[in-house]
Chain A
């Protein structure tokens, strides 16, 4: 019976057994009928037949053992032998197991993330039917690839479509929780009442929303997260029907969601729907009249999930929604002349893509890098095994001479490498567990790590597959050497090299070449990512990073109305400016780099425009207090900054907005010109100043035209205060907090971050990727160097006699040194050349990750090549020096 089918049989007992059972069952039935024909009653006949059958259990086991036992026995023998062999060469065992543990551990860790992101089903009922819906306006698509959805359109889509089982809408709504201990800022959402049943999730306690609660005036009910329930209420089951004060208004808790209930957080659902990093509180959407008006264009702000009717392809659903969108547009045209030339179309994306689309590419890249590391590790292991095979050739030749069949020796070698692989895999499990924890700890927040990642069944299965694959792959090479073997020849020439002369040397050099090639590719990619990252950090951000402290504040709607808000911030900022160590202070509605979307945006028209024009710019709309630009170090290009008591009809624009509106005009002459904000019918406002451009959404995105209005015009409750300091900004945190709480101790002050931290967080995903790939590349370099060293040492060891002869004949030691070095470096150079070609392919594939670096960046390529040659030369130097120091007399005397 073949090796494979035996393995299969071991795991197949469950399949063998039912067959045997059925066979015996048949036997018993036949026997019973025969006995009944002899006149026995059925019961007695059955009993007798069963007794005659003997103990079926024993029988069954015997039948199986027939195949298994001798095989298991000889396997155990092989394994024992392999382990004994490994104990005899601990350095080989150590190197091999470490290489594999590293490769398998790193791969498993990355795969556990990849699995969570790409393969694990979403934790909802029939998740494949769930899609996210967004819309776009073809005429604006270059500016807004897609838009979130207006409540009025959501209701129309939901009512009129024929393709969805249901649809739900969700939008961010954060709250301040007061009345119990320290005030706390809660992340929350307004959701249509059907959201939970649509996803197919049940609350752990209580209930979810009723349809009648999803109506304005009846919406003071909330469902809270398991996390909030535990953290804030000690998991008290009597929380249901309790009243919470959210933003100063009473809300009744009607349900608690189960632990781990995930719903899109952050910008997952749509880039314009910015939910918190977690959700503490859900509240019914209860759209108001303003949100439901057909003419209102400022409400493209809701994320929508839909459940397709079973079997409906997304394209069909999209076509159906497009028809509805068309009817919406037609009704709007009747009322709004601005809509004359505008279309509205829908986009449907599977929810899985929405969740993980953004990290997909980055995961594929990491998986590629870490996979290469494993391949290099395996190549190295083959090298080690080949070297070991040479030192063992005498033993193997002897065993062959004593009559061990060749197949038996091959099997022994494969068993050995599989044993090494299993040991490596076992050692890889703690590495993987640790690596996974590190990934979670260091991973950026949009990494699916935090969401659902643990070493689970499929991941373990994957790890075992690599283990066995690596074991077989690694064992196969020496095994084929044996199978081709010149075993008997070996015994004759004293077993100095079983694979005499060229054969194995060529194989090993080829292995080094491939190892160096893969390593080069990995190093180049890492170098390019690193260069890109450095470029990114050096890019002109438009603001200064050092010595800026920021604090997010939100005034509760009850206590602070428009003018009270203005007074609060003015008073607070005046007092903060008076603190020792403060150079300037101001506030803005959305701080750069804290929101990837542009938040509130508004169309801008020239004073002369009388009709909506789609070619006019759409700019992020930011409210700022005096002192903001100075605190952020944003330079003034023309005119002046906004001042205290600035009239609401004055604004400041960014350079890009100014040049966009008046392409050929000097910035200084833009000051004093007038524009209309939002509607062509609105009163014009005057530009009093032009400020520098800011990379506000992300460092790797070009600045967009921006508009700054005085806080007295847009009096938002939530502002971020920024403080420029003359010392380390952290040292001011306590004083600033005291200033805030002195005014109102019900304002939560949780996030006080320095601008340096904010910048650092905004590039976290990129830094994380770069660091990981760099780590893998350096590990790969280490492995490749071990390979280079091994091959050169081995060559020197084999040539000891020859070198002795040459020395005896008067060869110069320096010539020897040079020739050994050259011999060692030849496969490295070959590998490097192949590697550069590979690197070019890889670099083109990851072009989107590179910021301001050409795929064939000469600095990266040059550095990598030089570093590789240099370190490889060092790896060759040690054995070369050994060769040069050989004592010819000793060398010649050796057998």
Chain B
């Protein structure tokens, strides 16, 4: 099965969605969620994930906190902010519009 490493442009959308659904998660959990839920079709490269997370943090879409996990290790948990939820809604709308437009073209071109 082919894997799509590049999620350019869609990564923030996926991250925000996952955080909105699952609550605070650390970076590793986000990658496993993306991979698991897409049945390993989508693959998050860590090299993109962490810069993206920091960008989103700076934009105020997520906030991060250090927590101790149940296995007694320090992990940085990301949580979606109200502003992030608004962004998510906007991006979802945009994504639906783009995919339906692309689908339309693919179907009728």
Question: Which residues does A use to contact B, with CB under 8 Å?
Answer: 1, 19-20, 22-24, 26-27, 29-31, 34, 52-55, 58-59, 62-63, 66-67
- Tell me the dominant secondary structure on chain B's binding face: helix
Among B32, B73, B74, point to the contact of A34 (Cβ < 8 A). Answer: B32
Contact A26 B26, beta carbon cutoff 8 Å: yes
Contact A26 B50, beta carbon cutoff 8 Å: no
Chain A min CB distance to B66 (Å): 8
Among B28, B45, B55, point to the contact of A26 (Cβ < 8 A). Answer: B28
Chain B min CB distance to A525 (Å): 53
Contact A63 B74, beta carbon cutoff 8 Å: no
For B74, list chain A residues within 8 Å (CB): 22, 26
Contact A59 B46, beta carbon cutoff 8 Å: yes
Contact B55 A54, beta carbon cutoff 8 Å: no
B47 at interface by CB-CB < 8 Å:
yes
B70 at interface by CB-CB < 8 Å:
no
Q: Which of A19, A27, A62, A63 has the most C-beta atoms of chain B within 10 angstroms of its own C-beta?
A: A27
Contact A1 B58, beta carbon cutoff 8 Å: yes
* Known contacts A54-B45, A66-B55, A66-B58: A24-B75 contact under CB 8 Å: no
Residue of A nearest to B27 (CB): A27
Chain A min CB distance to B11 (Å): 14
* Known contacts A22-B74, A34-B32, A67-B58: A27-B46 contact under CB 8 Å: yes
For B27, list chain A residues within 8 Å (CB): 23, 26-27
- Interface residue ranges of B41-56 to A (CB < 8 Å): 45-47, 50-51, 54-55
Question: Which are the 10 A-B pairs with shortest beta-carbon distances?
Answer: A54-B47, A30-B28, A27-B28, A23-B76, A53-B46, A62-B51, A26-B75, A59-B47, A63-B54, A63-B51
Contact indicator per residue, chain B 10-46, by CB within 8 Å of chain A (1) or not (0): 0000000000000000111101100000000000011
- CB<8 Å pairs between A and B, sample of 17: A22-B74, A23-B26, A23-B27, A23-B50, A26-B26, A27-B28, A30-B29, A53-B46, A53-B47, A54-B45, A54-B47, A55-B47, A59-B47, A63-B54, A66-B51, A66-B54, A67-B58
Q: Which of A20, A30, A66 has the most C-beta atoms of chain B within 10 angstroms of its own C-beta?
A: A30
Residue of B nearest to A16 (CB): B54
CA A797 to CA B76, docked complex, whole Å: 63
Residue of A nearest to B43 (CB): A52
For A59, list chain B residues within 8 Å (CB): 46-47, 50-51
Chain A min CB distance to B6 (Å): 14
Contact B28 A54, beta carbon cutoff 8 Å: no
Chain A min CB distance to B46 (Å): 5
For B54, list chain A residues within 8 Å (CB): 63, 66
CA A240 to CA B58, docked complex, whole Å: 68
Residue of A nearest to B73 (CB): A26
Residue of B nearest to A26 (CB): B75
Chain B interface: which size bin? 10 to 19
CA A26 to CA B31, docked complex, whole Å: 13
For B75, list chain A residues within 8 Å (CB): 23, 26
For A27, list chain B residues within 8 Å (CB): 26-28, 31, 46
Chain A min CB distance to B49 (Å): 9
CA A140 to CA B72, docked complex, whole Å: 72
For B31, list chain A residues within 8 Å (CB): 27
CA A62 to CA B52, docked complex, whole Å: 10
CA A66 to CA B54, docked complex, whole Å: 8
Contact A54 B76, beta carbon cutoff 8 Å: no
Chain B min CB distance to A53 (Å): 5
For A52, list chain B residues within 8 Å (CB): 46
* Known contacts A23-B27, A30-B28: A63-B73 contact under CB 8 Å: no
For A24, list chain B residues within 8 Å (CB): 46, 50
Residue of A nearest to B30 (CB): A27
Q: Which of A23, A24, A52, A63 has the most C-beta atoms of chain B within 10 angstroms of its own C-beta?
A: A23
For B26, list chain A residues within 8 Å (CB): 23, 26-27, 30
* Interface contacts beyond A23-B76, A63-B50: sample of 20 additional A-B pairs, CB < 8 Å, sorted by A: A23-B26, A26-B26, A26-B28, A26-B76, A27-B26, A27-B28, A29-B73, A30-B29, A34-B32, A53-B46, A54-B45, A54-B46, A55-B47, A59-B47, A62-B47, A62-B51, A63-B54, A66-B54, A66-B58, A67-B58
Chain A min CB distance to B23 (Å): 18
Contact A58 B47, beta carbon cutoff 8 Å: yes
For A55, list chain B residues within 8 Å (CB): 47
- Interface residue ranges of B87-105 to A (CB < 8 Å): none
Chain B min CB distance to A111 (Å): 39
For A23, list chain B residues within 8 Å (CB): 26-27, 50, 75-76
For A29, list chain B residues within 8 Å (CB): 73
* Known contacts A26-B73, A54-B45: A20-B50 contact under CB 8 Å: yes
Residue of B nearest to A55 (CB): B47
For A1, list chain B residues within 8 Å (CB): 58
Chain A min CB distance to B12 (Å): 14
CA A59 to CA B54, docked complex, whole Å: 12
CA A350 to CA B57, docked complex, whole Å: 53
For A30, list chain B residues within 8 Å (CB): 26, 28-29
For A66, list chain B residues within 8 Å (CB): 51, 54-55, 58
CA A52 to CA B31, docked complex, whole Å: 12
Chain A min CB distance to B104 (Å): 36
Chain B min CB distance to A57 (Å): 11
Chain B min CB distance to A779 (Å): 48
CA A495 to CA B15, docked complex, whole Å: 53
Chain B min CB distance to A5 (Å): 11
Q: Which of B28, B47, B58, B74 has the most C-beta atoms of chain A within 10 angstroms of its own C-beta?
A: B28
Chain B min CB distance to A9 (Å): 11
Residue of A nearest to B47 (CB): A54
CA A584 to CA B77, docked complex, whole Å: 95
For B58, list chain A residues within 8 Å (CB): 1, 66-67
CA A52 to CA B76, docked complex, whole Å: 19
Chain B min CB distance to A26 (Å): 5
Contact B50 A31, beta carbon cutoff 8 Å: no
Residue of B nearest to A65 (CB): B51
CA A730 to CA B73, docked complex, whole Å: 84
Residue of B nearest to A54 (CB): B47
For A62, list chain B residues within 8 Å (CB): 47, 51
Chain B min CB distance to A762 (Å): 67
For A20, list chain B residues within 8 Å (CB): 50
Residue of A nearest to B29 (CB): A30
CA A34 to CA B36, docked complex, whole Å: 13
CA A26 to CA B76, docked complex, whole Å: 9
For B50, list chain A residues within 8 Å (CB): 20, 23-24, 59, 63
For B51, list chain A residues within 8 Å (CB): 59, 62-63, 66
Q: Which of B27, B51, B58 has the most C-beta atoms of chain A within 10 angstroms of its own C-beta?
A: B51
CA A67 to CA B46, docked complex, whole Å: 19
CA A24 to CA B47, docked complex, whole Å: 10
For A19, list chain B residues within 8 Å (CB): 76
For B47, list chain A residues within 8 Å (CB): 53-55, 58-59, 62
Residue of B nearest to A22 (CB): B74
Chain A min CB distance to B86 (Å): 20
CA A54 to CA B47, docked complex, whole Å: 6
CA A31 to CA B75, docked complex, whole Å: 13
For A53, list chain B residues within 8 Å (CB): 46-47
CA A63 to CA B57, docked complex, whole Å: 12
Chain B min CB distance to A61 (Å): 10
Chain A min CB distance to B83 (Å): 15
Chain B min CB distance to A285 (Å): 61
CA A95 to CA B58, docked complex, whole Å: 42
For B73, list chain A residues within 8 Å (CB): 26, 29
Residue of B nearest to A58 (CB): B47
Chain B min CB distance to A96 (Å): 37
Chain B min CB distance to A240 (Å): 58
Chain B min CB distance to A438 (Å): 51
CA A31 to CA B27, docked complex, whole Å: 11
CA A879 to CA B75, docked complex, whole Å: 70
